Each structure stands twice: as structure tokens, then as C-alpha cells.
Structure 1
Amino acid sequence: MQNNQAAFILAADNSPLQVGPGPDQSHPAEDEVVVQVAAVAINPSEWKMKELGYLPLKYPHVLGSDVAGTVVKVGEEVKRFKAGDRVIGQVEDVLLTCFGLARHCLGLLYGGAKHGGFQNFTTLREAVTAPIPDGVRFEEAVVLPWPSRLRPWLRLPSADPVNVDEQKNKHQRDEAVLIWGAASSMGTIAVQLAVAAGYAVITTASTKNHDYVRALTPDGGRHVAVFDYRSPSVAGDIIDRIKDQGLKFAGAYDCIGLEESTRACAEVVHAFGGGVLPSVLWPPQDLPSDVEVSVVNAIRPGTVAGSPGSRVWREYVPKALANGSLRLRPEPEIVGTGLDRIEEALNLHKAGVSAKKLVVLL
């Protein structure tokens, strides 16, 4: 851990990552877990942060959000994990640095480089760490992206397939959730969480990925309606579907964060009286006045006891992974092995990725 190596960004100039001696990870706080990283997944926020520098950073900085690996040391208050445990964890909270909420965040906010994923050893908060079931490889597990982004308007999901089946009959899934971008890694998880929580899911994907989206849930997509996001009438078609089915509109989640996706989601939210629209990036300025975009790059992480995110990581994720009700999708695509391959992986992600997760082994 004292001989840690990391891939750093040195300045806000989009220069290549530099591999060199990383932060000393020998001294976790009382609620932290030190992990030897075996696999790291690539997310769009990472190449965008490197290229666009849209948040203030303390340089040099280590990016990286999702890791899988082996616990090597735990803080004195950590009871759920011990050295040798195989885990997956969220190691970076992108947004909260802007709000000065220093102690409860990671990555950009909490200690900077120490909590980034692009290094051989990293430090996780225990609250956003989950065990990996036996028989699941690190590269398979690391595709699970930031499940703690469960929004307050979502009920907590059930990890028991029997209960899910009973719930759909009892409640008849009379509430609809719009998830824009189901074939993205974030959308893949969001669809599963929403179905497990008892919602009818309205989502979008390219036509080539419709079958992929329907196969995400144990019921074969019975409660998932998929629309082609390229259709010029997609927002209106979604509005008509919700109204024709007599569904209550529970909310939307823009997992893509492009101007066109945010505008389409905002059109749907506006049609049902307005409200908060979670999105992964900053919105255009001229949206309907009754639509409030909330940037949610892990803005409600599982770092506060009793919060939805904390309960998802502690209660739902371990059980759902163990019994298979939470599927590790999209499939990993291994870019290579070693910190020096992360730059290549970032560039590949920027070129375009859908229905797969780029992973680098360490």
C-alpha cells in the first residue's frame, strides 16, 4: 500500500494520464476499507472530467469511480468486512465538492487522489461497498455502477424475487418511471432497481438494444416498455403511453445527460405537472419553468446511515447479487491490463459505447 501506483491527471488540459507513485493507503479512517484493485470500470464522467474540467480539482488527481478487488485493511469501526473479502465499491463522488459537504464524500470531494479508482490500492467508504458472490469474477462484478443513486421518489427495491412477483400483483404497477438511456451502464442498473421496486418502467434505447433491455429483468421485460430514442416523436409517444395505460407518473431519470435527452425528459416531466428531473450532467438553460434539473453524479451517496443509497448498498445489493435478482450487466469488455491502459479505455469510451462496459484489469 505504501508502494501504491496510480494514473494521475496533472492539470485541466486533457493531457494523457501519468502513471507514478500513488497515495499511501496504509491508514484508513474508522469507517473506511482499503482495497487492492483488481478491475476498474470506465464511466463517461471520467473522460469528460479529464477533457472538460467542469469541476474544480486539486491536482494531481486520480479519477475512477467503480472498482472491484480484495480488502487488505479496514478501519476500526468497520464490521461488515475483513481482509481477504472480495468486494465491489464506489470510490468517487463527483458532485458534492461543489457544495462543501466535505466529510461525507469521496473522490473529488473527500481527500481527492486517495479515493480515486485508477490506482492499485484505493480507499472506499464502508457504506458504499458490497461483497461479491463466490463464482463471480472481478471483471464481471465491476460493471455495477453507482447503485446508490436511487432517488427519493423511488421506493427501495426488493431483492426477493417472490416478493417482487407478489408486489406486481398487489399494486398492479400503477406508477410509471421514465429512465432515459437503458442501454447505458447507469440505465441498465436503474431499470433493474425500478422494476424491483414495483414500478412500470418506460425507457429508451436504440432499436438494436431493445431485446437487451427487456432481458434485464427476471420477468423478461414484462413491465418494461422500450422506445427508440432516435424517433422525432419519442417524447410525445412516451407521454401517450403513460396516459393510455392510466399510469401515475412517478418521475424521470436522464442517464445520458446530453441536451437532447434532457429536453425530451423535461418535456415528459412537464406534461405531468413538472417536478425534479435527475440527470448525470448539467442541463440546458431554457427548459420549462416547472422542471428542475438535479445533477446527480452520486449526489446522494450511501454515506449517511439510513439514506436510500446506504440502504441500497447494505441491504439490497448484497442479497440481490447473491440470489441473481440483480444482474451484472452490461457485459464487460476488457481493454487490457495495467494502469497504462486506462488512457486507451477512456478514449474508447469517448468514441461511443452502448450495452457494454469497458473494464481495465490491474
Structure 2
Amino acid sequence: MTSENIAALLSTKQGQIEIAKRPIPTPQADEILVHNKAIAGNPVDWMVRDYGFGITEYPIVLGSDVAGVVEHVGANVTRFKVGDRVLGFAGVLATSKADHGAWQTYTVVKEQAATVLPSAMAFEDAAVFPMAMATSINAFFVQFGLPRPADAHSTIFSPGTECLFIWGGGGAVAASMIQLAKALGFTVYTTASPKHHDRLRRLGAAEVFDYEDANVVNKVLDKVSSAGLHLSHAIDNTSKKDTLLATSEILVRSGGPSSKLVTLLDWPEDMPCPVQKFSFFAFTTFAEHADLAGWFFNDWLAEALAERVIVPAPPVVIVDGGIGSVIKVFDRIKAGVNGVKVVILTVTKVIVVEAQVGPASDKQVPRVKQIPAWVEGPAIDELLDELPDYANVARVDAVGRGECATLAHISASNSMDSSRPHLATSRTAASTQEQRTTFPKYGASGSTNRS
């Protein structure tokens, strides 16, 4: 366990965030301690920082989305063990306890708020899910009151019968809603700007409409009618006056006044609503609906991720600098992001995927040694110690985006007894690219694949 817990501390209401050390949290009997490897930002983070709502105790650590490794389990925990790779919903918005905030090295997470990850899923991709899925299950199973499916491959509706309409499909929450709705058996219609249409169809949306189209209401209703669908459930992820009116009109004209509309924000008190209206609250799901949360996060989502019924979405954007970049993350989200999830990595990640091991004079086909590793701090040297001095490093892949250590060069000495290779820092853009590196000592080349 790393001996330090670096945290983004908000000392007072509407105060300034400072990066400081705080004690490593101790999980209670029904909690796990997660060593965070990736943390994702949400709009509510900067809103709480700026407006001070919802938090009753300071200093506080904000944030809801974590992915990492279980470091310790409480006495009553049965679903997780030390070393498990997990995603988790950090419940600070419900508890006002700093130990439950995401923006620190270690976070305490309720057992029912965590999911074991598939071995191939990167932490930064897993971090897109906690808030988005908590919001989704609150909307579907609490507000709509839908029954739970038997498993990740079972639906609750016959295909081609029920339609779910989502206003605002481009964001992270909608990406989870679309996938979950499709898994439940809904035919999903949504709105988004045209640049997101293909991506949302790949996630499972049957139809995507341009939200700026002045005739969007009639186009949605025409498509519902021609497809022979029943539409009586809708979600408004924008919740502005015009979107509320448009979404409720679609519902009342299709499913009648008994239709159910779930909104991001409360319906305005001075505006009559023609259908049943509800608001979703992700952070109350684990306290008020613990059994639902445990079923979904411990069981259903774990199976869905393993079977790729649910895939990470939207794409992530890595902000360099680890926890120290939290203010940059908050301000970037505040300025407006759409179609991506902003994430930081707390560790340097390196994986040596291929190394030719054998004396340089050996004319035989060299052995291939695979050495995967999560690397942070002194562990970099431990990784290099896995390779003998005469190793010919054929390829090195840095896994993840942002700042990653790579075997950027090797000592210029030609002696086989020279010092070990050492690491330099390489930064690349978030877009996929390949960086070629020459290793003069051994005459080999390496490539760093980044995406």
C-alpha cells in the first residue's frame, strides 16, 4: 500500500481546492478501501465546489467515479477481496464524509456500490460508469418502477414492442442509459447533435434525431407510429423549459397522461405537466435502495461488462497531472464537454509486452518474455529488474493515455555490464498514434502505442 493519501481538499463552503495529504481512510464493516487508479469528473463536482449545495461537513473531498484496486475489506464484506480490480461509486454526496470522496488516492466505497472489472478493461474506461449507471438504475428501477431482469442477457420487454425516448443522448449518463435500456428490451430513440449520431447507434440507439430540428417532435412520433411501438417512458437529460415541453408532448401524444417522464432537474412549479413526472437522484440509490444497488453493481453489471453487453462509453479524455489536475478537470467540465468523459490517472502505467531474452551473440530464435505490470514510483525499477542485462527489448507498449513512462532510451555505454536502462517520460495526444524509439545499446527498436 502506498503510504500517502493525496487528496483534493475543499476546506470551506465555496472555498478553494487545495492538494494536501490526509490519513488513509479505514473502511467500515460493509465497505471496501479502493486504491484509485483512475478518477472521472462529473458536472456536479464543480457545481458543489462553486455553489456549496449538498455538503454539510468540511473539509471535504468531492467526486463520485473511481476505478482501482481493493486494498482492504470490511469485516462483513463478502463480494470482494484484496487485489480485486473494481469500479466504484464514491458516496460523498450522500454522506458528506471526506473518506467517501473520489478525488484522492484512496476512497472508501460501500460494498453494494462496486463492480469487479473484466481483466482486459482499463481503469480509465471503467471510471466512466459509476455515476452514469447509478443515475440510470435510479431512473429505470426506482422512478419508472421497472422489474429487474433475471440476468444480463434477459429482457423485460419483448423486442420491438416498447420504446424509450431520451432527450439528450450525447453525454456520459445517456451512454449508459442507452445501453441499459437496450439490454432491458427497449427500442431506444434519442436526440443529439449529428456528430454523435453514429456513435449512439453503435451503443444501441435505434433512431437518433437532431435536437435542433424544429420538427423533431413530429419526426419522433411518426417514427414511433411507423415502427408499431408503444412509447410511455421518457428521460430528459437536459431539463430546460423547451426540452421539457417537447419531451412531455411526445409522451402525452404517444402514451397518454399516464406516461412517465424522468428529468435531470425538477419540473418547474409554475409550468403544468401533462404526464407523470419524476426526478432522478443517483447519490441516494445506495442508501435508500441498497438491495437494488447491490444486485445491479455486484451482479448484473459485472456480468454485463464481462459479456460485453455493456461497453465503456463515451470515449475518455485524459488530463495530465493526476489528482493535482483536479481544478483543471472541474473547469474544463464547467466550460462544457459533450460526448467524452474527462478522467485522470493516478499512476504511471507501463507494460512490457515483448522482450527478446538471450545473449546478443545467440543466433538461435530468442525466447519471448511477457512482463505486464502496473507501475508507480519505485516499482518501475522492479519492472526493469525483470529483464536481464543482455535483454534485447523489442517492443514496449505504454497502456493508457496522459503521462506514461516509456523505455525512451538506453544508456549510451556499449558495455554489457553497463547500468540498467532507465525511463524517460513521454507525452502524446489522446488520439491514437505510435511513437518509435531506438535502443542503441542493443540495436533494437520499440514502439509505444497510445490511444
Q: What's the TM-score, normalizing by structure 1?
A: 0.84
Give the letter for the 2:119 counterpart. D
Q: Distance in 2 between matches of 1:11 and 1:63?
A: 12
Q: Distance in 1 between matches of 2:125 and 2:190?
A: 24
Matches within 5 A, 1:245-324: 245-271=227-253, 272-298=256-282, 301-303=285-287, 307-324=291-308
Matches within 5 A, 1:322-361: 322-361=306-345
Q: Distance in 1 between matches of 2:242 and 2:345?
A: 34
* Distance apart, 1:299 and its partner CA: 5.3
Which residue of structure 1 aligns with residue 31 of structure 2? Answer: 32
Q: Distance in 1 between matches of 2:240 and 2:22?
A: 33
Which residue of structure 2 aligns with residue 109 of structure 1? Answer: 94
Q: Distance in 2 between matches of 1:311 and 1:188?
A: 21
SS of the residue corresponding to residue 117 of structure 1 reads: coil
Q: Distance in 2 between matches of 1:47 and 1:3?
A: 25
SS of the residue corresponding to residue 319 of structure 2 reads: strand
Which residue of structure 2 aligns with residue 62 of structure 1? Answer: 61
Which residue of structure 2 aligns with residue 195 of structure 1? Answer: 182
Give the letter for the 2:176 counterpart. I
Deviations 1:166-186 (A, max 9, x none): x88xx2321111122222000
Question: Number of residues paired by the alignment?
Answer: 336
Matches within 5 A, 1:133-282: 133-146=118-131, 147-149=133-135, 150=137, 151-152=140-141, 153=144, 154-156=146-148, 160=152, 171-217=158-204, 221=205, 224-271=206-253, 272-282=256-266
Which residue of structure 2 aligns with residue 119 of structure 1? Answer: 104
Q: Percent of aligned positions with the same letter in both sequences?
A: 31
- Structure 1 residues 157 and 173: CA distance shift in structure 2, 3 A: farther
* Distance apart, 1:23 and its partner CA: 5.1
- Structure 1 residues 349 and 60: CA distance shift in structure 2, 3 A: same
Which residue of structure 1 aligns with residue 366 of structure 2? Answer: none
Q: Distance in 1 between matches of 2:237 and 2:221?
A: 18
Deviations 1:36-86 (A, max 9, x none): 111111111212222233435322221101100111111111111111111
Compute the RMSD of aligned alpha carbons. 2.5
Which residue of structure 2 aligns with residue 76 of structure 1? Answer: 75
- The answer for unaligned runs of 5 or more in structure 1 is 93-106
Deviates more, 1:305-314 or 1:38-47: 305-314
Which residue of structure 2 aligns with residue 100 of structure 1? Answer: none
Deviations 1:235-265 (A, max 9, x none): 3332333234332224112223444433332
- Structure 1 residues 86 and 352: CA distance shift in structure 2, 3 A: same
SS of the residue corresponding to residue 72 of structure 1 reads: strand
Q: Distance in 1 between matches of 2:289 and 2:268?
A: 34
Which residue of structure 2 aligns with residue 10 of structure 1? Answer: 11
SS of the residue corresponding to residue 77 of structure 1 reads: coil
Deviations 1:75-98 (A, max 9, x none): 111111111111001113xxxxxx
Q: Distance in 2 between matches of 1:267 and 1:156?
A: 28
Q: Which has the larger strand fraction?
A: 2
- Assess if the C-alpha contact under 8 Å between 1:158 and 1:197 holds in 2: no
Q: Distance in 2 between matches of 1:53 and 1:270?
A: 37
Deviates more, 1:183-192 or 1:28-37: 28-37
SS of the residue corresponding to residue 346 of structure 1 reads: helix
Deviations 1:190-223 (A, max 9, x none): 0000000001111111111000000113xxx5xx
SS of the residue corresponding to residue 36 of structure 2 reads: strand
Deviations 1:272-299 (A, max 9, x none): 3155432233343333334454332315
SS of the residue corresponding to residue 174 of structure 2 reads: helix
- Assess if the C-alpha contact under 8 Å between 2:116 and 2:298 holds in 1: no
- Assess if the C-alpha contact under 8 Å between 2:36 and 2:66 holds in 1: yes
- Structure 1 residues 22 and 269: CA distance shift in structure 2, 3 A: farther
SS of the residue corresponding to residue 109 of structure 1 reads: helix
Q: Distance in 1 between matches of 2:240 and 2:9?
A: 27
Which residue of structure 1 aligns with residue 20 of structure 2? Answer: 20
Q: Distance in 1 between matches of 2:149 and 2:189?
A: 17
Q: Distance in 2 between matches of 1:201 and 1:55?
A: 33
Q: Distance in 2 between matches of 1:252 and 1:133?
A: 31
The equivalent position to 1:128 in structure 2, one of 94, 113, 138, is 113
Q: Distance in 2 between matches of 1:89 and 1:306?
A: 14
Deviations 1:283-338 (A, max 9, x none): 43333334454332315524567744332212211111112111111111101132
Q: Distance in 1 between matches of 2:247 and 2:130?
A: 22
- Assess if the C-alpha contact under 8 Å between 1:156 and 1:312 holds in 2: no
Q: Distance in 1 between matches of 2:294 and 2:134?
A: 7
- The answer for unaligned runs of 5 or more in structure 2 is 347-451
- Assess if the C-alpha contact under 8 Å between 2:41 and 2:333 holds in 1: yes
Q: Distance in 1 between matches of 2:275 and 2:70?
A: 43
- Assess if the C-alpha contact under 8 Å between 2:88 and 2:113 holds in 1: yes
- Structure 1 residues 52 and 240: CA distance shift in structure 2, 3 A: farther
Highest RCO, 1 vs 2 (Cα 8 Å, sep ≥ 6)? 1
- Assess if the C-alpha contact under 8 Å between 1:334 and 1:358 holds in 2: yes
- Assess if the C-alpha contact under 8 Å between 2:8 and 2:104 holds in 1: yes
- Assess if the C-alpha contact under 8 Å between 1:158 and 1:196 holds in 2: no
